[in-house]
Amino acid sequence: MTVRVLVVDDQALFREALRTLLDAQPEITVAGEAGDGAEALRRGAELAPDVVLMDLRMPVLDGVGAIRRFRVEQPAVRLIALTTFDDDEDVFAALRAGALGYLLKDVPSARLVEAVLAAARGESVLQPSVAAKVVARVAQLPDPVPSPRPQPLVDPLSERELQVLRLLARGLSNREIAGELFLAAGTVKNHVTNVLVKLAVRDRTQAALRAHALDLLGP
């Protein structure tokens, strides 16, 4: 199935560049564009995209406000924040609003394509610096009440799966993990699937958080 994408950014030249990049991919088509959050909501209702690439700082209605309204009005749409900024305020505002992913505009083109396809499957996609912020923020949260240490895994991770998990928690894509570990991309995909099953989580962000709770990420 072809993934239909709505590109939202107030810079026409950047929208045009994204359209050129994404339309060149056989699995992706750009269904439309919008220059601000309010227009994005109207275009989203007309076009029913699978994924929206959403800039954050725009006129009329900013990206965080648009993401929040998309989650209410068009809950089936997967939203990825695609912005220049990765300060904590922007990152956590977008994720709290309902963004499934957060990427910076200097992301390599191959990583962006992979992120769009992953988001269409319902997987979270985070810039490595953003993934580190999420894990660090969770680590700083106080427990409201004392809680028992999480139970160890019924089916422990292999050494290779642990390596994959630690790179995954840093926000690396399957392709980047394959390069780090000198493995085939298909092999990494299988390891990631096994990791998610053994951790009993749905996506990569949840895997990173559970790994932190189980103290699997190392120093």
Q: Which domains does the chain have, with CATH numbers?
A: 3-126 (3.40.50.2300), 159-213 (1.10.10.10)
Pair of tokens at residue 42: 């109207």
Does the pTM surpass 0.85? The reply is no
Among candidate residues 207, 162, 210, 160, the one with its CA nearest the CA of residue 187: 160
Per-residue pLDDT of 42-96, as tens digits, reads 999 999 999 999 999 999 999 999 999 999 999 999 999 999 987 888 888 898 8
153-176 burial, b for 16+ CB within 10 Å, e for fewer? eeeebeeebbbbbbbbbbbbbbeb
Q: How far apart are CA 22 and CA 17, in angstroms?
A: 9
Per-residue pLDDT of 8-36, as tens digits, reads 999 999 999 999 999 999 999 999 999 99
Predicted pLDDT at 140: 64
Q: Quickly list DSSP for 33-67.
A: EESSHHHHHHHHHHH--SEEEE-SS-SSS-HHHHH
